[in-house]
Amino acid sequence: MSSIFGVIGDAKLNNIDQMQNVLTHRGTKLKSKFKSDVAILSVFSHEKHQEPLSGVYESGENFLAFSGSLFFAPEDVSNLKDLYDLILKNGIEYINQLSGSFILLFKTSQKTIICRDPAGESTIVYSTFSGQVAFASEAKAILSLPGFKREIDRGSLTRYFAYSFLPGKATMLKNIFELPAGVVLEIDSSGRTNLKKISTVDQIEEDVDMSLDESVSEFHQLFLKCIEDRYPSDSVGLFLSGGLDSTIVGAGLRELGHSFKSYSLYFGKKYNHELEFAKSAADLMNVENIPFSLEPKTFLPNLREAIWYLDDPIGDPITIPNYELSKFASKEFNYIYNGEGGDPLFGGPKNIPMMLHHWYGYEREENFREKKYLESYRRAYSEIESLINPDFLKDLDVEEELEAPLRPYFSSSRPHKFLNKLMLINIRLKGAHLILPKIKRMQGANGILPLSPLFDSRLIEFSFRIPTSHKLQNGIEKLILKEAYKGKIPEGIIQRPKSGMRVPVHYWFQKELRRYAKSIFNKKDVENAGIFQYKRIKELLSYDLESIQNRYGLKLWMLLTFEIWRKLNIEKESL
């Protein structure tokens, strides 16, 4: 993991060391410090990672700053000058042809352009502040600037409880924005900003004549290349859940002749787990499998620290277990492969309810697709008005705040197929603002560079080119992945329905987490903050253990994550 941060404009700040002081967990190896009449910035990389391109290349008044890893380019790119020349020749749209995990700044005489890698593996936030544009790998660096006002964005709070993350450009902090994937930020010589879409994924035409055998063959070859392009000169591990996606990544590594150790997370034998599937996959691949058991007494001492590293709150309960698993695996590995990306790219099972409603649903009220999508998340969408203080929501159009991130995808004529619309939402919103930042920050804070071959930008383009029936067919999700690895991985993993990593928060909040949650949500603190209704929080904390369908544990986890984040970032409590 690396960091990039700085200020663009008529630089009143001549020192940005305070930004680096809060980003040391991302690496302290200085790659470049750059200062000109219109910009001041720094690029750091992690001591454990190979990031040869990270740094700044200057050409007259122009410059190219790069932070992160480049896995693939269609031409030979051995240094920053090569990349600078290619962008100068082809325009910033050349970024669409690259695969990697990086942030890039390109300065010409007319403007400065900031962009993310095409898949959105790396994140960048920005803010117009004191007549300048401040930018950084994490919002906490912008918060460190003198005079920056710390305020919660009210609309973002409602979206957090509906989605469990923040989709789109708004962060939880007012006046700090995250650059969406597939979009660049243009800053002109006067400091004016403009967001410009450069991704053309939604314009890809489906090849309706492609047979399933052809799709499977092309996927298999491209998938192996995406794995190999990421393979470092160091040894690697694999987070092996026992599900389809991480298993085929392991199988791909073995096909390429690579050895590795695998790690499997579970929460004790008394809770449902997938160790038997992970072990059967590891045995077939002839690799070591190391089970890692986690319970609250292990992660509670580190909970505030992990949420600090998250930067923006993420309410997915698997986040903190990922942090602890990464800490454990980092004792041996600096690079870990994972199976993230299979569901968003190739038609995971959560698309099925939306597809059924699209085909057969009888309710057709205004924005019915947006509402149904929010309901499908099964977070706290229905709880928002009973949970958040009415005064905090005053004059806020909650429905608009929740549906606005989805509307451009459902209203657009491209992609044509409804499943591909859902996939684009899952890639651009859930992928770029939840899945990829979550693993990047939780693993990166422990010195691990996550390797996600299924989320490669080339596979994203490929997934929109193949017929939708090769992804989801007759209720069979991720058909192409199953066909590609039929006979190469345990049949039980292919045939069983996806269950996901079920974190037992429903039980923890009635047992190990109960006292901790009550201390965080004491009546005095809740009422002084003025954000939540204490009566509803008290009701949530008193739920019946048998009431699994209401997902009280998940709602409490989202509340707990946010409240710790708020105390650290708004009230400036120490870790």
The enclosing H or E element of 561 equals helix 552-569
Residue 161: inside a domain: yes
Q: What gap in Å lies between CA 537 and CA 532, rounded to an integer? A: 8
Phi, then psi, of 40 in degrees rounded to 5: -140, 125
pTM: 0.95
Domain check: are 62 and 124 in the same one? Answer: yes
472 and 324 in a single domain? The answer is yes
* Residue 500 in domain: no
Domain boundary among 370, 402, 419: 419
160 and 54 share one domain: yes
Domain assignment of residue 430, yes or no: yes
Out of 199, 226, 242, a domain closes at 199
Residue 437 lies in a domain: yes
* Residue 205 in domain: no
- CATH number assigned to the domain comprising residue 446: 3.40.50.620
How many C-beta atoms surround the C-beta of residue 545 within 10 A? 12
User: Which residue has tokens 């470092």?
Assistant: 232
* pLDDT number for residue 549: 61
139 contacts 171 by C-beta, under 8 angstroms:
yes
How many angstroms separate the CA atoms of 380 and 559, rounded? 10
> Are 510 and 485 members of one domain?
no
Q: Are 226 and 126 part of one and the same domain? A: no
- Is residue 389 situated within a structural domain? yes
Do 126 and 48 share a domain, yes or no? Answer: yes
Each of the 575 residues of the chain gets a pLDDT tens digit; together they read 899 999 998 656 667 889 999 999 999 999 999 988 778 899 999 999 988 999 999 999 999 999 999 999 999 999 999 999 999 999 999 999 999 999 999 999 889 999 999 999 999 999 998 888 999 999 999 999 988 999 999 999 999 999 999 999 999 999 999 999 999 999 998 889 999 999 999 999 999 999 999 999 999 999 999 999 999 999 999 999 999 999 999 999 999 999 999 999 999 988 989 999 999 999 999 999 999 999 999 999 999 999 999 999 999 999 999 999 999 999 999 999 999 999 999 987 777 777 767 666 655 677 888 988 898 877 889 899 999 999 999 999 999 999 999 999 999 999 999 999 999 999 999 999 999 999 999 999 999 999 999 999 999 999 999 999 999 988 889 999 999 999 999 999 999 877 666 899 999 999 899 999 999 999 999 999 999 999 999 999 998 766 666 789 999 999 999 999 999 999 999 98
* In a shared domain, residues 329 and 366: no
Whether residue 46 contacts residue 164, with contact meaning beta carbons closer than 8 Å, is answered with: no
With b meaning 16 or more CB within 10 Å and e meaning fewer, what string describes 509-540? Answer: bbeebeeebeebbeeeebeebebbbbebbeeb
The phi, psi pair for 427, rounded to 5°, reads: -75, -50
User: Is 190 found in the same domain as 131?
Assistant: yes
Q: Which amino acid is residue 498, in one-letter code?
A: K
Query: What is the distance between the alpha carbons of residues 23 and 2, in angstroms, rounded to a whole number?
Result: 9
> CA neighbours within 13 Å on the CB side: how many for 82?
10
321, 503 Cβ separation under 8 angstroms: yes
Amino acid at 86: L
What is the C-alpha separation between 170 and 549, in angstroms, rounded? 31
Please, which residues bridge with residue 132 across strands?
Answer: 129
Q: Which of 495, 523, 542 is the last residue of a domain?
A: 495
Which residues lie below 8 Å from residue 60, measured CB to CB, with a gap of 6+? none
Number of domains in the chain: 4
* Nearest CA-CA partner of 103 in 119, 91, 89: 119
Strand partners, 289: 262
Are 377 and 515 contained in the same domain? no
Does 535 fall in a domain? yes
Residue ranges making up the domain that contains 402: 351-419
Is 285 inside any structural domain?
A: yes
Do 327 and 435 reside in the same domain of the chain? yes
Query: Are both 130 and 23 inside the same structural domain?
Result: yes
CATH of the domain at 104: 3.60.20.10
Residue 403 near residue 374 (C-beta atoms within 8 A): yes
If asked whether residues 342 and 285 sit together in one domain, one would say yes
